[in-house]
Structure 1
Amino acid sequence: MASKDLPPLTASFPNIFFHNQFIAKPNWPHESTDLSGKVAIITGGNTGLGYECATQLLSLHLTHLILAVRSPTKGEAAASQLRTAYPKAIIDVWPVDMASYDSIQTFAKRVESQLPRLDIAILNAGIRNIKFIPVPSTRHEETIQVNYLSTMLLAILLLPGLKSKSPAGTPGRLTIVGAALALLPTLPSAGDTSLLTSFDSPDKYNAHEQYCMSKLLVHAFLYKLADYVSADDVVVNIADPAFVKGTGITRDVPIFGRILMALFGALCGRTVRVGASTFVDAAVLKGSESHGCFLMSWKVEPFNSSLYTPDGKQTIEQLWRETTDELAFAKVQGIVESMKRG
């Protein structure tokens, strides 16, 4: 069953964490898995989980990989290593700044004009800021901007290409990198005040809560987006890599915090290889049964429990309206409507 059709999780988050980190077993590709001829995009593919995901896709004979990165210099350094390891593959570096709507639109237009084929898009780029940082061009807090608003914009802009540029009878694959931490917060109640601007107050900023909320908002948006997109055209899902050690996500944390996280990671963390395998599982191994779903520990799991309540469903509708209004400059509502028309 799809995530929205499953009963909400009743296990406590510590129990979920323990299961994810110590009990769940990876779902590795069968040796016959072959991505020859296929084209994939990975955002944030120059480091950490994104780079490891790139490595795993290329090991499955992926023909063409595009690393979508903010820094072309770092992207080319990563691409050079991958080209050495996989000389038969085409590996390109395309710039995209996930804090810039203009950059995202430019990237999406390049996909449309320059790629004759597109099979897989893995939206891995994300941030976890310690301090409140507003994005000057949008005035939204950067964590919500990058992890939610900009990621949803890129996801929607890639949908038509994933549908039209994948082979007939084979749906494109769009995997958004999520987090089990999305299960922790409660979706805000719908009301007359703006949901999106409620996350833009520096006085109320809490780094951990904001990161968790940014991932929950993706759950809420996908809950409705899946109604517009057929699994026959594009399979869209969210993949949780769980807590992974050595990804660099704590690089902005003060030194004492980094030491604690390193110790915690040594005790509890998945390896980068195991964490990235969840992306490959979601984008390559899972089928239409994963459409519109949250995948945790290689299985379809329920969304955050607050999405299943009457109040949560009202908030989903409000968030959808506010998000499509925010992104109206890119005509996102028209794009999702065109997907629904088949």
Structure 2
Amino acid sequence: MGVLALWWGILSRIFAGKTKTDVLPPSLSFNGQSILITGGTSGLGLETAIHYVNLGAASVIITARTLSRGNDAKLAIEKRTGKKDVVNVMVLDMDTFAGVKGFMKQLRADVTKLDIVLLNAGVHNFEFQQSPEGWEQDIQVNVLSTILLGTLMIPWLRQIKKTGQIQHLGFVGSSSHYISPDISKWPTQDVLQTFNKKENFVSGLHNYAISKLLFHYGALELSKLAIDDDGNPSPIINIVCPGMIRTNIARGFANKGPLYKLIEAAFMFIRCNPADVGARSLVLMGDTTKEEHGTFRNPMLSREEYASKSAPMLTSPEGKRMQAQVWKEITGVLVKAVPEVGDIVRP
């Protein structure tokens, strides 16, 4: 019965049809703007970079784990857009806090203008793996390193902000943050360490959803930090989910064997939209208003639908308590690893 239920779940998802998507307005332009995209060598990151170049961006920085991989992506973007001298490559290792610190050091030294920052880099493991820092890798990359990078970005973006400039800081989230996790079963203390234990790694899908909810709590707290002395967001922060997209983020699933590879291929082809279609949602993040600051953007749901579905995790008393606890734990880890974080999160 369990096997039949599993296959029914897989097949029902495969034949459910593709998800709704965003559309780029014909008048949309990023003429002259400077943009940074982490994880820009494939999938959503690469396609978002291509969109921005085609829409007039003057400078697009993409990050890669290695310079050679980044340069390959740069050549691919130049070939598809027909534009050179727009894309630059920087190396970013999200597996370690030192990698994030080193990246920010280079960024501060080399870059004097940014209009849009998209933190897209992420992982989705289907087996328990730990980073060099000792954290389960989904938690390390999707939560701790991403929130660290976002935290360090806020004061630096303000520092380089020009008069009248509107800056955006976007995060790629996931709808799984409100679909799978049941926080009523979570501990009230040591939440991060609980999910850092191998015995609590239920499955890759389950753990990815947990990492995305932990991240979401952190990103919502960053949206509070981004409010300046005048009560305005600086930068404007948004979390974006483009829907189900054909990318290689779940490559660990296909690597489990031929059957898994076949299931992934069928699911990706029938159920998921191409990466260039999903990337439209990420592009539109760079055009949001200050009234949209701190919101979760998803083409599949209205704001009202999302508010209803996410209430147990986010706006219920239990959700608010969990967000405060997770933020306390995240900042505790980050301040210990990168002391300057303390000056940012504790006014």
TM-score scaled to structure 2, two decimals?
A: 0.85
Displacement of 1:81 in angstroms is 2.1
Q: Who is 1:199 aligned against? A: 195
- Pick closer, same or farther for the CA change 1:78–1:25 going to 2, 3 Å: closer
Query: 1:189, 1:312 within 8 Å by CA — same for their partners in 2?
Result: no
More divergent stretch after superposition (80-89 vs 60-69):
80-89
Displacement of 1:179 in angstroms is 1.0
Say yes or no: does 1:266 pair with 2:238: no
Displacement of 1:57 in angstroms is 0.5
Say yes or no: does 1:281 pair with 2:281: no
- Pick closer, same or farther for the CA change 1:320–1:208 going to 2, 3 Å: same
Stretches of structure 2 lacking an aligned partner (at least 5 in a row)? 1-12
Displacement of 1:288 in angstroms is 1.6
Displacement of 1:321 in angstroms is 1.0
Q: Who is 2:9 aligned against? A: none
Displacement of 1:273 in angstroms is 1.5
Q: 1:62-108 CA distances to partner (integer Å, 9 max, x unpaired)? A: 11111111121111001122234343542111111111110101111
Q: Who is 1:112 aligned against? A: 108
What code does the residue aligned with 1:252 have?
Answer: G
Displacement of 1:161 in angstroms is 2.5
Q: Who is 1:133 aligned against? A: 129
What code does the residue aligned with 1:308 have?
Answer: T
- Of 209, 212, 221 in structure 1, the residue corresponding to residue 209 of structure 2 is 212
Q: Who is 1:248 aligned against? A: 248
Q: 1:236-257 CA distances to partner (integer Å, 9 max, x unpaired)? A: 1110011112x11232222312
- Pick closer, same or farther for the CA change 1:304–1:212 going to 2, 3 Å: farther
- Of 53, 74, 90 in structure 2, the residue corresponding to residue 58 of structure 1 is 53
Say yes or no: does 1:332 pair with 2:333: no
Instruction: Tell me the secondary structure at the aligned position of residue 296 of structure 2.
Output: strand
What code does the residue aligned with 2:318 have?
Answer: D
* Mapping for residues 93-112 of structure 1, pairs under 5 Å: 93-112=89-108
More divergent stretch after superposition (59-68 vs 192-201):
192-201
More divergent stretch after superposition (56-65 vs 322-331):
322-331
Displacement of 1:192 in angstroms is 5.9
Say yes or no: does 1:158 pair with 2:161: no
Say yes or no: does 1:226 pair with 2:223: yes
Distance 2:311 2:117 in 1: 24
Q: 1:24-74 CA distances to partner (integer Å, 9 max, x unpaired)? A: 34231333x332322111111011111000000101111111111112111
CA RMSD of aligned residues (A): 2.3
Distance 2:209 2:45 in 1: 20
Between the aligned residues of both structures, percent identity stands at 27
Instruction: Tell me the secondary structure at the aligned position of residue 210 of structure 1.
Output: helix
Q: Who is 1:315 aligned against? A: 322
Displacement of 1:21 in angstroms is 6.2
- Pick closer, same or farther for the CA change 1:249–1:125 going to 2, 3 Å: same
Query: 2:40, 2:63 within 8 Å by CA — same for their partners in 1?
Result: yes
Displacement of 1:121 in angstroms is 0.9
Q: Tell me the matched-pair count.
A: 318
TM-score scaled to structure 1, two decimals?
A: 0.86
Moved beyond 4 Å, runs of 4+: 20-23, 188-192
Query: 1:216, 1:304 within 8 Å by CA — same for their partners in 2?
Result: no
Query: 1:221, 1:320 within 8 Å by CA — same for their partners in 2?
Result: yes
Displacement of 1:320 in angstroms is 1.1
Displacement of 1:337 in angstroms is 4.7
Say yes or no: does 1:175 pair with 2:177: no
Instruction: Tell me the secondary structure at the aligned position of residue 236 of structure 1.
Output: strand
